[in-house]
Amino acid sequence: MAVIAPSLLSADFTRMGEEVREIESAGTQVLHIDIMDGHFVPNLTFGYSMVKALRPITGMVFDVHLMMTDPVNYIENFAKAGSDVITVHTECDSELDKCIDLIHKCGKKAGLSIKPKTSPEALFPYLDMIEHILVMTVEPGFGGQSMMTDCLDKISVIKAECTARGLNIPIMIDGGVNASNVRMAAKAGADMMVAGNAVFGASDRAAAFRELSELSQI
Ligand code: DX5
Ligand code: ZN
């Protein structure tokens, strides 16, 4: 069964605390938190004050996805705010080894993400340094888009390289996951899947989360 990580981006912003409590009581263990800087992607979301505000009300793993041009300047604050996993993009301007080192110095797990047009090989120089991989299955920037299913082929390429090196790094996919494609993504090897609209767009979030979790059983 893949781990389904609801994305806060699609939650009702007028009731964040209740949304977080509601999905946690449905059995969610990982909350995906999308941070956009209006430059790396053409959208803005929220900053570390949101992470800090939510931290005391939940025990869920905070999986923080930094869609930022220069994330290195923000890593310490996101760590201090209570992030558990901090993911930066291979396509950003910051030096990736510096970002990864800093995330580790802050005592957090480091993730690397690739956009749909980036080849999986872009991750290879860093595989020995990271604990999390995020394969985008939509162009980052907005929730509610359709999954680009050809991106799923990258999973087996990354897994083969990890296996050859004796590494076991969870691979998460992000974008357009829903009840009709979750099984295909699980079969492609996704260990974890972000689900924004498919969970928070449903009137019964708990039922939507459970359905996706069950369908991801292969
Ligand atoms: C997109 C974000 C995603 C987004 C996914 O840039 O990184 O995490 O919230 O939302 P859905 O599941 O609706 O595509
Ligand atoms: Zn994301």
Q: What is residue 115's predicted lDDT score, i.e. its pLDDT? A: 98
pLDDT (average), residues 106-117 = 99
Residue in 216, 174, 208 with CA at minimum distance from that of residue 194 = 174
Q: What is residue 73's predicted lDDT score, i.e. its pLDDT? A: 96
Residue 122 Cα to ligand 2 midpoint, Å, equals 18
Name the residue with the closest Cα to ligand 1, atom 1.
140
pLDDT in tens, 68-82: 999 999 999 999 999
Residue 84 has pLDDT above 90, yes or no: yes
70 is catalytic: no
Where does the pLDDT of residue 199 fall: very low under 50, low under 70, confident under 90, or very high at 90 and above? very high
pLDDT in tens, 160-189: 999 999 999 999 999 999 999 999 999 999
Where does the pLDDT of residue 158 fall: very low under 50, low under 70, confident under 90, or very high at 90 and above? very high
Task: Tell me the average pLDDT of the chain.
Answer: 98
Residue 148 Cα to ligand 2 midpoint, Å, equals 15
Residue 11 has pLDDT above 90, yes or no: yes
Q: What is residue 78's predicted lDDT score, i.e. its pLDDT? A: 98
Q: What is residue 110's predicted lDDT score, i.e. its pLDDT? A: 99
Counting ligands in written order, the one closest to the CA of 8 is 1
Residue 1 has pLDDT above 90, yes or no: no
Pocket of ligand 1 (CB under 6 A): 7, 9-10, 32, 34, 65, 138, 140-145, 174-177, 194-198
The answer to whether residues 55 and 17 touch, using CB atoms and an 8 Å cutoff, is no
Amino acid letter, 118: T
Residue 102 has pLDDT above 90, yes or no: yes
pTM: 0.98
Residue 66 has pLDDT above 90, yes or no: yes
Residue 209 has pLDDT above 90, yes or no: yes
Where does the pLDDT of residue 6 fall: very low under 50, low under 70, confident under 90, or very high at 90 and above? very high
pLDDT (average), residues 90-117 = 98
Residue 218 has pLDDT above 90, yes or no: no
Residue 177 Cα to ligand 2 midpoint, Å, equals 12
The two three-digit tokens of residue 69, written as one number:
């041009």
